[in-house]
Structure 1
Amino acid sequence: MLEEKRKDLDSEKQKKILLRLVDALSQLDPDLYYRPTSDIALYLEKYIRSDAKLTSDERSLMERLSRRDLEVLLSLH
């Protein structure tokens, strides 16, 4: 039960971070909104692994996500 709560908390944190990163990338590329989800997920994946300003905890949370995970999270928003 505690493990489930931790996963839920991690998931919520990932969603918040993801939205923040999408917002940051949208500032750099206003046409991002019109791109396919798969392209945005690829862009995010590269951004997370390189230029994103994340704390070590945030980076650890986000690097767990595959490109497919990012696509799913993006489609839920």
Structure 2
Amino acid sequence: MDLPEDLLERLQQRARENRLTIREVVLAAIEREVERGEFREHLASRPATDPGVKAARLIGEERGRRDGGGD
């Protein structure tokens, strides 16, 4: 595989640091990227969640309970 010199050097460094071959580093990176794509697809297939209340309001209420109600 023809790689740019700077990328090859980074791969070699990562491989040395982790006591892996360049092949192992590349395969792990590809696997992570594939899993990331699968996770995004999974999230996109889930129905949207609407709590009915703005998150900022919920956080404010919780902070109020925590800061003012701890007596």
TM-score by length of 2: 0.37
TM-score by length of 1: 0.34
Decide which structure has the larger Cα Rg and report it.
2
Which structure carries more helix by proportion? 1
